[in-house]
């Protein structure tokens, strides 16, 4: 009976790896819902998709997102994507803002990072009402600093403020 149990464990492990592997996102479904419902450490690919966002995409689990293309609808005073979790990777992001359509007091960065141990590699930011990327501490009583992040291969055009902004406070 011992060898059969070992074999069963090996088979379960193989299926577990597949469950956390590459997942093609549904182009017609809410990007936020798909990200929210993804299992930790999943690789979500938006290749061939584009989302017009009316709601912020909140990343609350460690995930890998690749080939994501988003545009904020006019007047939406939100981040396109907000990273709250540690261990998030985003590769090949294309984010278009809505500069000129939101009140100056409600401007928001296209990508806001509040987690640590992240990698942002290959991102294009256009027409942001504020920043392309903003890294900042969590707004909690005990502010948690952002640490051990890597941002590389960034392009910004038509950004109201900074392509990359790093803040050490709340």
- Check if the beta carbon of residue 43 is closer than 8 Å to that of residue 66: yes
Q: Considering all CA atoms of the chain, what is the largest pairwise distance in Å, rounded to the nearest integer?
A: 69
Tens-digit pLDDT profile for residues 82-120? 999 999 999 999 999 999 999 989 999 999 999 889 999
Which pLDDT belongs to residue 142? 64
Residue 151, helix vs strand vs coil: strand
Tens-digit pLDDT profile for residues 24-66? 999 999 999 999 999 999 999 999 999 999 999 999 999 999 9
Q: How confident is the model at residue 6 (pLDDT cuts 50, 70, 90)?
A: very low
Indicate the pTM of the whole model: 0.84
Q: How far apart are the C-alpha atoms of 72 and 138, rounded to whole Å?
A: 23
């Amino acid at each position: 009976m011992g060898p059969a149990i070992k074999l069963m464990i090996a088979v379960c492990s193989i299926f577990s790896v597949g469950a956390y592997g590459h997942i093609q996102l549904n182009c017609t479904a809410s990007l936020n819902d798909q990200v929210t419902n993804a299992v930790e450490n999943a690789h979500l690919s938006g290749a061939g998709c584009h989302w017009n966002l009316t709601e912020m995409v909140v990343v609350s689990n460690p995930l890998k997102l690749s080939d994501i293309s988003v545009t904020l609808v006019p007047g939406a005073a939100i981040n396109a994507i907000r990273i709250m979790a540690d261990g998030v990777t985003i590769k090949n992001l294309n984010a278009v803002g809505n500069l000129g359509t939101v009140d100056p007091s409600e401007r928001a960065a296209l990508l806001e990072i509040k987690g640590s141990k992240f990698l942002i590699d290959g991102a294009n930011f256009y027409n942001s009402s504020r920043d392309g990327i903003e890294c900042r501490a969590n707004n909690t009583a005990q502010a948690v600093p952002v640490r051990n992040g890597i941002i590389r291969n960034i392009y910004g055009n038509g950004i109201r403020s900074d392509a990359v902004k790093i803040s050490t406070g709340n």
